[in-house]
A and B are shown apart, each in its own frame.
Chain A
Amino acid sequence: AQSVTQLDSQVPVFEEAPVELRCNYSSSVSVYLFWYVQYPNQGLQLLLKYLSGSTLVESINGFEAEFNKSQTSFHLRKPSVHISDTAEYFCAVSSSSNTGKLIFGQGTTLQVKP
């Protein structure tokens, strides 16, 4: 079985400041890792994913996450946030044999202030 813990329920930050959203997971099998973003009253959008290969993965809008197997973490970072980044962020894990079942964390609300 897998589980995901997002260590911060809310992260307030000023515009143009760096941010880190923390995610730890547990699993007895090989996993894939995902970050999804949810804007108010919308569904989930994939931000980035780690399947294999380089442990550092990047999104098109400046976010990056690093898979750390020894620490079972997949923290999300952005060097400079924008007001438009305000949203709910979910870390998720699946077994590498079936991504049809995602296990999500509780979510972290990123609040970017002007």
Chain B
Amino acid sequence: DAGVTQSPTHLIKTRGQHVTLRCSPISGHKSVSWYQQVLGQGPQFIFQYYEKEERGRGNFPDRFSARQFPNYSSELNVNALLLGDSALYLCASSNQRGQETQYFGPGTRLLVL
């Protein structure tokens, strides 16, 4: 079975632009969580979606938004990009409402210039 997939793998944007990151969970998994990992730090929780509804939100500004589609894939959107948004964005999926282990994708590396 395919694991969690994310696209694109790398992305370069300039300040003020908008970006959309995509995640496909493991088949059968209904929960998707997003994390931001700045270089040299541990991942920080951004959002959790389960059955297309937001179930949790971390301490991130409103420039960050996400959604989950009927096929359980998910998008993370970031508006008005800042230099500090440069990071590895990780998506993780689990097969129940947060009662199971999260499996991570390879991430999208975003560089904001």
Q: Which residues of A contact B (CB under 8 A)?
A: 4, 34, 36, 42-46, 49, 90, 92, 94, 97-107
Contacts and interface: CB of A to CB of B under 8 A. Distances in A.
Contacts of A4: 42
B69 to A, nearest CB: 17
Nearest to A103: B45
Q: Please give me the 6 A-B residue pairs with the lowest Cβ-Cβ distance, nearest first.
A: A100-B98, A104-B42, A98-B98, A100-B48, A44-B104, A43-B104
B98 A101 contact: yes
A100 B31 CA distance: 7
Contacts of B106: 42-43
Given A98-B55, A104-B43, A43 B105 contact: yes
Nearest to A91: B42
B42 A90 contact: yes
Nearest to B32: A100
B33 A101 contact: yes
Contacts of A102: 33, 35, 43, 45, 92, 102
Contacts of B55: 98, 100
Nearest to B41: A106
18 contacts: A43-B107, A44-B90, A46-B103, A49-B101, A92-B42, A98-B97, A98-B98, A98-B99, A99-B101, A100-B48, A100-B97, A100-B102, A101-B56, A101-B58, A102-B102, A104-B44, A106-B41, A107-B40
